[in-house]
Structure 1
Amino acid sequence: MLKYVLAIVCLHNLVSVYCLTVSCPNGYTRHASSCYRFHHVGLSWPESVTFCKATGSHLVRVETEAEHDFLKLKAKEMLGRYPLYSFWIAATDAVTDGEWAWADTLTSLTYKKWALGQPNNGLGEDCAGLYYQGGYDFGDWLCRTLLHPICEIDFTDGIELVG
């Protein structure tokens, strides 16, 4: 039996308000205006980006403290069920060392909460994730490291509104 989480999303401009019912695909969990899925497979960061795109989502962008708190709680629930304890997020400084941005939008991180001693900017550590040893705050890794991807679907992704 398929399970769907429904939400009503309303978008408005100066003239009209558009409301639509949005559901998360099976296996995804809704929080605020997104659906999230913690995947069991261990992948490198580039593989995780491709994997999420192939599933119609994107590697998670942690943009608020509330979203981060939700993801940390879910990550802690995964302990013992997943072989690797840390999770990839979409942040990278591969374009300019020390300037962290979201890979899919190339926008600078406006919210960031690095674990103590992170980012340590080790040679080639250009990809970020939720760092288990840092209480699931951000940490940087070599992009070839195997971690679990967290894929995100924003409710507004792919929605075309006609007024």
Structure 2
Amino acid sequence: MGILYTLLLVSAIYSAEGAYCKDGYSSHGEYCYALLPLKASWAEAQQYCKTLGGSLAVIEDADESNFVEGMLKREHSTISTSQIWIGGTDLLQEGLWIAPETLEPLTFFNWAPKEPDNLGGQHCLAVFNNADLKWDDNRCEVQNYALCKSEGVTNENIVG
């Protein structure tokens, strides 16, 4: 009973800010985000995120995009890649961007000007690591860091 009470107390403290996340993760709403500090292809990055209990971050709306931009700007000094992988690919059908785990069509985009351009067969979604952090389609084999997203622990996860 003591462990459950402690978990409920911790969850209540963090639920005002969002989900409770593991060390190294940032919380936003019910999700946790982590920038993995190793370079990988898009498929490898997705597998690394999956191993950690999540997926490449599928950004669903402007609020989440603003959070991710702020998080990446805070981490900017530690990022030595021109782009960061996020969840989305149009590999199955050009121009139809889908989430990696659910295969649901993406409905929110924050494209850089003149993107996506499918230049040389670009089918995987990345964020430019520059001042405005807009999105780009890139070749899936390019080695970038990965932004992972997973569900955090909330009151519903503990009690439900």
Return the alpha-carbon distance in structure 2 between the equivalents of residues 142 and 92 of structure 1: 10
Query: Is it true that 1:8 corresponds to 2:15 in the alignment?
Result: yes
Gaps of 5+ in 2: 1-9
Contact 1:115 1:134 in 2 (8 A): no
Q: CA RMSD in A?
A: 2.5
Moved segments of 4+, more than 6 Å: none
Match for 1:135: what amino acid? D
Gaps of 5+ in 1: 10-20
Provide the residue aligned with 2:107 in structure 1.
110
Query: Is it true that 1:75 corresponds to 2:82 in the alignment?
Result: no
Query: What TM-score, normalized by structure 1, do the two folds share?
Result: 0.80
1:79 CA displacement: 2.1
Provide the residue aligned with 2:124 in structure 1.
127
The structure showing larger relative contact order (alpha-carbon pairs under 8 Å, at least 6 residues apart) is: 2
Query: What TM-score, normalized by structure 2, do the two folds share?
Result: 0.82
Identity %: 24
- SS in structure 1 at match of 2:45: helix
Greater strand share, structure number: 1
Provide the residue aligned with 1:46 in structure 2.
43
Matches within 5 A, 1:127-146: 127-133=124-130, 135-146=132-143
Greater helix share, structure number: 2
In structure 2, which of residues 146, 150, 153 is the aligned counterpart of residue 153 of structure 1? 150
Change (3 A) 1:156 1:61: farther
Contact 1:61 1:102 in 2 (8 A): yes
Match for 1:147: what amino acid? N
Change (3 A) 1:142 1:134: farther
